[in-house]
Chains A and B, each alone.
Chain A
Amino acid sequence: MSKGVLTLKPKGITADGKGWLVGIAIGFVWLSPLFWMDATTFIVLTAAGLAMGMIFFMVASGLTLIFGLMDVLNMAHGAFFAWGAYVGFSLLGMFEWLGWVETGTFLQCMTTVLVILAVAFLVGALIGAILERIIIRQVYGDHLRQILITMGASFVMVELIKIFWGLNDEVVAVPLAFRGSFDIMDVVVNRFRILAIVLGIIVFGVIQMVLKRTKLGIIVRAGVENREIVETTGYNINRIFTGVFCAGVGLAAMAGVMMAMFKQEVHPAMGDDSFFFALMVVIIGGMGSVGGSFLGSLMLGLAFNYVAFLLPKAALGVNILVMAATLLIRPTGLFGHEE
């Protein structure tokens, strides 16, 4: 991270035992929209923001693995997201043929969503394996070439979407059980958003568990720090990194499915926006920190929804604002460490 004026600030605001002050400040900022809206609206927007944040997290978690951990700048991440969305769109069509989308029971709808997420993950991972083998492996450690070549891959993948599925926007049907809302004492919470929140938490838990508690996680973290030691210990680090890359883009594809159902539409360039969101999340959270990405996504999701309600035109800018504010206070991101 940049040196200079910023390094004059103490590292980490909680260092001098004033963590509670930070807590109050965060609480104040979080609750500040209440000045301009009533509590019910606030809760509705919060639920929406959390759901959006969880979808951001799923895109960003893949990027955290690939960019944060493996230090590969994969500009095709958004294209994987779009691929996942389109695979989801096609599969929804097939499940509709079974009658599990427009008229399904809760169980059928749940199965539909889970199967689609799994297939999207696999398709993403498969394309990822090919991409990593052929392209990425040649450019490890070279950011400029990574950007250029994955940008090219991204164009190819988006054009392929246009060939397979056409140029137009398509409407995505949400399975019946996840349409509509729960109405709890006038607070209207969209059902799909609850699904998104639950799934996001599960994805977060699984990634953390694998990285922190399993031998595979140890090997991955070790390989990021020093490939040579891991290799001379007896592990095929190339194969492991291929696996991490596949998992990362698979997560992007899963997030694509969720976003397609969240926005109820797909279009070929849909990956671009979410890629930049994900990039911001990873930077806010701190490179390579899954926990940081999780918090960062929630911050962006919430801020976006509050501001979109109060000042619709400022909604896109608020992300940049959150990012800038975070980096001013912590130049390495929320949970980032200085090298």
Chain B
Amino acid sequence: MNEIILTLKDVHAHIGQHHILQGISLQVKSGGVTVLLGRNGAGKSTTLRAIMGLATVASGRICLGDDAIAGYKPYHIARMGVGFVAEDRAILYKLTVAENFRLSMLMETDATWQRMETIFLLFPDLKRFWNVKAGLLSGGQKQMLAIGRVLVNDHRILLIDEPSKGLAPILVTQLGESLIRIREKTTIVLVEQNFRLARQVGSDCFILDDGRVVHEDRMASLAQDRGRMKKYLGIG
């Protein structure tokens, strides 16, 4: 069960002139939720973007299962079974909820529509506002759509970037419950600033600082380790 599904080895990446990732190495086990923690600017989002092919990898290896994917185009990586929920409500505001979903469906098979039923159970609001323009949804509903639309395909791994950003605390709790149900079906890599949410859903975690992994742990034991949390995350 716990085979390695995603491996990053000494990955370097730049944004403009800035050397953001300075040799990230990490391994994601299949099943469960791997959380990337760290201060602002530590390189968490860039790590996800590098995996997805959105940030150019200058050197290092990224492997999905046995395939080296560094340098592949984002659409290619997506088709290999990597789902990506970008920061800031990654949905198309001018399209209806229905159109957002149709866009996401890379194949429209019976299985797709079965998954659709599961998504409706998970996020009932999306069914209610099926024909509404996504831009008119509330903040929480937009985030449900952003996550829901990625679930329609059969993924090997799901990358989610700060889903709690800008959500009211009660919605964050709901989001956590949804993520717990989603993790039963797929592997998740989660970037999260909200430590409570991270602890609620996470199984493993990596702490990033200045573009490197500085600590690797089980989520549960990190939550007990007040010294580390203060040192790297400034909490506790």
Please report A residues at the B interface, Cβ cutoff 8 Å: 215, 218-219, 221-222, 225-226, 228-237
Contact B93 A225 (CB under 8 A): yes
**CA of A244 to CA of B132, assembled, Å:** 26
B73 CB contact (under 8 Å) in A221, A228, A236: A236
A234 CB contact (under 8 Å) in B95, B102, B106: B106
Contact A225 B86 (CB under 8 A): no
**CA of A230 to CA of B94, assembled, Å:** 13
B10 at the interface (CB under 8 A from A): no
**CA of A231 to CA of B73, assembled, Å:** 9
B84 at the interface (CB under 8 A from A): yes
B102 CB contact (under 8 Å) in A215, A225, A226, A230: A215
B104 at the interface (CB under 8 A from A): yes
A222 CB contact (under 8 Å) in B79, B86, B95, B106: B95
Query: Which chain A positions have C-beta within 8 A of B90?
Result: 226, 229, 232
**CA of A226 to CA of B149, assembled, Å:** 15
Of residues 68 through 104 on chain B, the ones whose CB sits less than 8 Å from some CB of chain A are 73-75, 77-79, 84, 86, 90-95, 99, 102-104
**CA of A221 to CA of B77, assembled, Å:** 22
A232-B54, A234-B78 as given contacts; A225 in contact with B94, CB under 8 Å: yes
Contact B94 A218 (CB under 8 A): no
A225-B94, A232-B84 as given contacts; A237 in contact with B103, CB under 8 Å: no
Closest CB in chain A relative to B64 CB, distance in Å: 14
Contact B93 A219 (CB under 8 A): no
B116 at the interface (CB under 8 A from A): no
Closest CB in chain A relative to B116 CB, distance in Å: 16
Please report B residues at the A interface, Cβ cutoff 8 Å: 52, 54, 73-75, 77-79, 84, 86, 90-95, 99, 102-104, 106, 153
Query: Which chain A positions have C-beta within 8 A of B99?
Result: 218, 221-222
**CA of A235 to CA of B104, assembled, Å:** 10
Contact B75 A237 (CB under 8 A): yes
**20 A-B residue pairs with CB within 8 Å:** A218-B102, A221-B92, A221-B95, A222-B99, A225-B92, A225-B93, A226-B90, A228-B86, A229-B91, A231-B74, A231-B75, A232-B74, A232-B75, A232-B86, A233-B78, A233-B103, A233-B104, A233-B106, A234-B79, A236-B73
Contact B92 A222 (CB under 8 A): yes
Closest CB in chain A relative to B59 CB, distance in Å: 23
B52 CB contact (under 8 Å) in A215, A218, A219, A232: A232
Query: Which chain B positions have C-beta within 8 A of A215?
Result: 102-103
Closest CB in chain B relative to A332 CB, distance in Å: 15
Query: Which chain B positions have C-beta within 8 A of A228?
Result: 54, 74, 86
**CA of A145 to CA of B78, assembled, Å:** 32
Query: Which chain A positions have C-beta within 8 A of B92?
Result: 221-222, 225-226, 229
Known: A218-B95, A231-B75. 11 other contacts (CB 8 A): A215-B102, A218-B99, A221-B94, A222-B103, A225-B94, A229-B86, A229-B92, A231-B54, A231-B78, A234-B79, A236-B75
**CA of A234 to CA of B155, assembled, Å:** 12
**CA of A236 to CA of B93, assembled, Å:** 21
**CA of A150 to CA of B123, assembled, Å:** 48
Which single residue of chain A is at the shortest CB-CB distance from B77? A232
Query: Which chain A positions have C-beta within 8 A of B104?
Result: 233
Contact B75 A235 (CB under 8 A): yes
Interface centre among A230, A231, A235, A236 (most CB of B within 10 A): A231
